[in-house]
A and B are shown apart, each in its own frame.
Chain A
Amino acid sequence: MTAVAAPPEAAAPTEPPVHKPSVRKRLVPYWLLLPGILWLLVFFVLPMVYQASTSVQTGSLEEGFKVTWHFQTYWDALTEYVPQFLRSLLYAGTATVLCLLLGYPLAYLIAFKAGRWRNLLLVLVIAPFFTSFLIRTLAWKTILADGGPVVAVLGKVGFLDVTSWLGVTEGDRVLATPLAVVCGLTYNFLPFMILPLYTSLERIDTRLHEAAGDLYARPATVFRKVTFPLSMPGVVSGTLLTFIPASGDYVNAELLGSADTRMIGNVIQSQYLRILDYPTAAALSFILMAIVLIMVTIYIRRAGTEDLV
C-alpha cells in the first residue's frame, strides 16, 4: 500500500519509513505528570518519610528527639491501645454497614425511579458539603442533646430501652454514648457511600431488568441476581470510601462521645497535641494504616472486583 503511493525517490528502501515522534512530543506526558508528582512528593512522600523517622526516635520535647531505631515503640503503642483500635474498627464498620443500608435504597431510587427529580436529589445528597464538617457535627450535639425533642421521642417509643439493653446508650442519654458517635460517623460519611453506589447503579442497562423478568425472575430475584451483583463496584468503593476515613476519624468521637468512646484517632490526636509524645503518635498512625491496608486488601480479594474498581 505504501509502495504504490510512494514517490519514485522513496521507492528504494524496502521498509516504510518510521516516523519517530520528536523528543519534545515524547516528553509531553511527563510534563503533564510533573505538577501532580511534585505535589505528592512535598505533601505525601516527605511527610510519610518524616513520620516514619519520627516513629523510631526516642527522647523528649525538652531534650530533643533522636533516631535510635527504637522499634519497641510500635509494640508498646499497639498493646497499650488495643481497646481503642478495636473500637475504631467496630464503630467504623457499624457506620459503614448503616451507610450501606441507608444509602443503597436512596441510590437505587435516584438511579431508577427519580425521573426528572434525579439531579435535584443528587444535589441534595451533596448539599451537606456546603457547610463545614465541624459545624454539622456540632449541630448533632444539639440534635442529640439531653432532654431535647429527639431524645424525648426516642425515650417515649422505647427505642432507648432497647439501645440501653444493647449497651450503646446509657439511661435516657444519647449524647456521649457509642450510639451518638456511630450516628455522627454514619451521617458524615453517607454521601461518600451514596455517590459511588449511584454511579454504578446508574450504569446498569434497565433492559437487563426486563430480560431477567422475561426469564422468570420475580422482582426480588432480579435484584438479587442482576442488580446487586452489577452494583458491586459501587458497593466496594462506597464501603472503602466510608470505612477508611471513618476508622481514622476523631471529630465525631471528640464532639459526640465520651472518654469511654475514644477511637484511635483521638489517641493519636492527644499524643501529638497534648502529651507531645511524637514517636508514639507516629507509630500509632503507621499501625492504623497497616491494619486498614490489610483489611482492605482482603476485602477486595473476597469481593472479587479487582477488575471493576
Chain B
Amino acid sequence: MTDNTAGGDVRLAGISKHYGSFTAVHPLDLTIPQGSFFALLGASGCGKTTTLRMIAGLEEPSTGTVSLGDREVTHLPPYKRPVNTVFQSYALFPHLNIYENVAFGLRRRGVKSVKKQVDDMLELVQLGQFAERKPHQLSGGQQQRVAVARALINHPQVLLLDEPLGALDLKLRRQMQLELKRIQTEVGITFVHVTHDQEEAMTMADTVAVMNGGRVEQLGAPAELYENPKTTFVANFLGTSNLIEAEVLESGSDDVVVSSAGAKLRLPAGRCSTTPQAGGKLLVGVRPEKISLVHADEEDTIAAGRNKITGTIADSSFIGVSTQFVIDSPVCPELEVYVQNIERDARLTPGARVVLHWNPDHTFGLDAAQAIDAGIETVEESA
C-alpha cells in the first residue's frame, strides 16, 4: 500500500510525553532505519511503551515530531498511519474468528477480495487450519501469531511490537523469537520491538536502544552494547558486570593503569567512556565470563600481563554448562565469575583461596560519578 522504496526511516525528533507533572519520556531524538529490527529495551516504567504508542499514534507527543520517511505523522490518528501494532495482550477481537481478525485491516481499507491474502498470511504463521476458530479457542502462542498476522497483512511501513512475547512461557518465547526474526527477514518491514527482556532484545534486534527513566541511555548493536557499555545502567542491565571502584595511576594514550585495594589493573584507553585523569577515580568493569579462575597454589601458571585479583570463593552454583562463582575480594565484595565446566577443579569450593585473571583488553572503564548499582534491581524485578 505504501511506497517502501525511498527513505522509509522512522524519525523521532525531540518527542517527549508528560502526564501532568510526570515526564514519561524526555525529549528524544531517534532514527530507526528502514528494514531494521529495532528494540527498545528497559524496565517497566522507563518510557519505552509510551515511545512506541507515540509512533503508533495512540498517544500524542507533548513536544516534537514523528516522521515516517518524508511524511510527518505527529498529529495523524492511528487509523491514518501506515503503521500496525502487535499489542501486549494481543487484543484479538473475541467476537470474530481468526480469519476475520486477520482480514480486519484489509476490509477497513476497502480491499475487495481478501481471501488469497488472508490464506497466505495464515500460512506464513502456520495457522491455516485454525481460520474458523475463535481467539479463545487458541493457545497463547497461536494467539500471538494471529496478532502478528493481523498486523503484517496490511504491509505496514513499520510494525510495532509491544512486549508481544511477555505472556508466553520460556520455551515458546524462544521459539517465537526465532519465528519473528524469520518473518522480519522474509517481509523486510521495519520492526520496532519493545521489551524488558535483555536476552530477547539481543537475540532479535539489529539495534537496541536501552531506555532508563524516560531517556535513551545507549544505542547500538547488541554486541557493541554488551562489550562497551557507556553507563553503569547498561553494564548492569545487559547481562552482569563486575564493577570495581579504582584510582587512576597512569593515563596513557594506549593503556590506562588503575589500582584498587593494592591490585594493579590495566585497560585499553579506547574502552573508557570518559577520559581518565591520573589521580582521579574510574569504575573498571569486566564481564563474569571473561574471567578465569585458578586455585591460589597455581598462581605461577598465569601468563604475564594479565589482570590479576586474589580472593576467596564465597559461593558457587553448578548450572550444567557452567559454574557460577561469587568471589569475596578486597577489591570488590561480590565478584561474579562464570567458568565453563570443561575440567572441573575439585579444590574450587567455598572458602578456597583463588586468583582471578583476565585479558586486560576485556576491561572497560566507566565514569565513576554515577551509581555503581544502577540497573541491578530492575533486572531482578523483571526476571
Contacts and interface: CB of A to CB of B under 8 A. Distances in A.
Interface in A51-99: none
B154 A210 contact: no
Interface string A181-222: 000000000000000000000000101101111111110010
A151 interface: no
A55 B108 CA distance: 57
A208 B91 contact: yes
A229 interface: yes
Contacts of A210: 58, 78, 85, 87, 91
B87 A215 contact: no
Contacts of B93: 208, 211-212, 226
A217 B108 contact: yes
B77 A216 contact: no
Contact of A216 (B56, B79, B92, B94): B79
Interface string A225-247: 11001100000000000000000
B89 A216 contact: no
A104 to B, nearest CB: 17
A213 B78 contact: yes
Nearest to A211: B91
B105 A215 contact: yes
Interface in B68-126: 77-80, 83-85, 87, 89, 91-95, 104-105, 108-109
Nearest to A230: B95
Interface residues of A, number: 17
A213 B83 CA distance: 11
A208 B96 CA distance: 12
B91 A221 contact: no
Interface residues of B, number: 24
A213 B77 CA distance: 8
Nearest to A217: B108
Contact of B79 (A207, A217, A225): A217
A215 B150 contact: yes
A208 B90 CA distance: 9
Nearest to B110: A216
Contacts of B89: 205, 207
B58 A214 contact: yes
A205 B90 CA distance: 11
A230 B84 CA distance: 23
A214 B79 contact: yes
B91 A205 contact: yes
Interface of A: 205, 207-208, 210-218, 221, 225-226, 229-230
Q: State the 6 A-B residue pairs at the shortest beta-carbon distance, nearest first.
A: A211-B91, A215-B105, A216-B108, A207-B91, A213-B78, A214-B85
Interface of B: 56-58, 77-80, 83-85, 87, 89, 91-95, 104-105, 108-109, 150-151, 154
